[in-house]
Chains A and B, each alone.
Chain A
Amino acid sequence: MLDDFFIRALLVGIGMAIVTGPLGCFVVWRRLSFFGDTLAHSALLGITLSYTTEINMALSVFVTSSIVALILLKLQKTTNLPSDALLGLLAHSSLAIGLVVIGLLATIRFDLMGLLFGDILAVNANDIILVWIGGATILVVLKIIWKPLFASTVNFELAEAEGMKPEKYNAIFTILLAAIIAISIKMVGLLLITGMLILPAAMARNISDNPMQMVIFSVIGGLLSVLIGLFASLEFNTPSGPSIITAGLFLFILSLSRIKKKTQLNN
Chain B
Amino acid sequence: MTQINNSLVKLENVGVFANDKWLVKGVTFEINKGQIVTLIGPNGSGKTTTAKITLGLYKDIEGKVQKFTEKIAYVPQRINIDWTLPIRVNDFMNLTNTLTNDEIKDALEITGTPHLINKDLKSLSGGEFQRILMARAIAKKPELLVLDEPVQGVDFNGEIALYELIKKISDTLNCGILLISHNLHVVMSKTDHVVCLNGHVCCSGTPIDVANNEKYQEIFGKDISKILSVYEHTHDHIHNIDGSIEKKK
Q: Which of A154, A160, A162, A213 lies at the interface centre, i.e. has the most chain B CB atoms within 10 A of its CB? A: A162
Which of B10-18, B52-60, B184-192, B194-202 faces chain A?
Answer: B52-60
Q: Identify which of residues 61-108 in chain B touch chain A, using a CB-to-CB cut-off of 8 Å.
A: 70, 72-74, 76, 79, 81-82, 84-88, 90-92, 95-96, 98
Please determine whether A154 and B72 come into contact, CB atoms closer than 8 angstroms: no
A233 to B153, CA, bound (A): 56
Please determine whether B86 and A205 come into contact, CB atoms closer than 8 angstroms: yes
The answer to whether the Cβ of B157 comes within 8 Å of any Cβ in the partner chain is: no
A147 to B85, CA, bound (A): 15
The answer to whether the Cβ of A31 comes within 8 Å of any Cβ in the partner chain is: yes
Please determine whether B82 and A29 come into contact, CB atoms closer than 8 angstroms: yes
A65 to B140, CA, bound (A): 38
Please determine whether B85 and A209 come into contact, CB atoms closer than 8 angstroms: no
Query: Chain B interface: which size bin?
Result: 20 to 34
Closest chain A CB from B150 CB (angstroms): 14
Please determine whether A28 and B95 come into contact, CB atoms closer than 8 angstroms: no
Determine the chain A residues whose CB is within 8 A of the CB of B146 once the complex forms: 161
Determine the chain A residues whose CB is within 8 A of the CB of B55 once the complex forms: 157, 160-161
Please determine whether B87 and A158 come into contact, CB atoms closer than 8 angstroms: no
Please determine whether B72 and A209 come into contact, CB atoms closer than 8 angstroms: no
The answer to whether the Cβ of A211 comes within 8 Å of any Cβ in the partner chain is: yes
Determine the chain B residues whose CB is within 8 A of the CB of A255 once the complex forms: none
Closest chain A CB from B85 CB (angstroms): 5
Question: Which listed residue, A29, A151, A161, touches B72 by the CB 8 Å rule?
Answer: A161
A185 to B243, CA, bound (A): 68
The answer to whether the Cβ of A164 comes within 8 Å of any Cβ in the partner chain is: yes
Closest chain A CB from B8 CB (angstroms): 14
The answer to whether the Cβ of B172 comes within 8 Å of any Cβ in the partner chain is: no
Q: A155-B76, A162-B74 are in contact. Are A28 and B88 (CB under 8 A)?
A: no
A28 to B84, CA, bound (A): 7
Please determine whether A158 and B86 come into contact, CB atoms closer than 8 angstroms: no
Please determine whether B74 and A158 come into contact, CB atoms closer than 8 angstroms: yes
Determine the chain B residues whose CB is within 8 A of the CB of A154 once the complex forms: 79, 81, 85, 87, 92, 95
A211 to B70, CA, bound (A): 27
The answer to whether the Cβ of B120 comes within 8 Å of any Cβ in the partner chain is: yes
Question: Which listed residue, B74, B85, B90, touches A161 by the CB 8 Å rule?
Answer: B74
Determine the chain B residues whose CB is within 8 A of the CB of A150 once the complex forms: 95
Determine the chain B residues whose CB is within 8 A of the CB of A211 once the complex forms: 85-87, 91
Please determine whether A159 and B56 come into contact, CB atoms closer than 8 angstroms: no
Closest chain A CB from B122 CB (angstroms): 10
Please determine whether A209 and B95 come into contact, CB atoms closer than 8 angstroms: no
Given contacts A151-B95, A162-B140, 11 further A-B contacts (CB under 8 A): A29-B85, A150-B95, A154-B79, A158-B76, A161-B52, A161-B72, A161-B146, A205-B86, A209-B86, A210-B88, A211-B85
Using a CB–CB cutoff of 8 Å, the interface residues on chain B facing chain A are 52, 55-57, 70, 72-74, 76, 79, 81-82, 84-88, 90-92, 95-96, 98, 120, 123, 140, 146
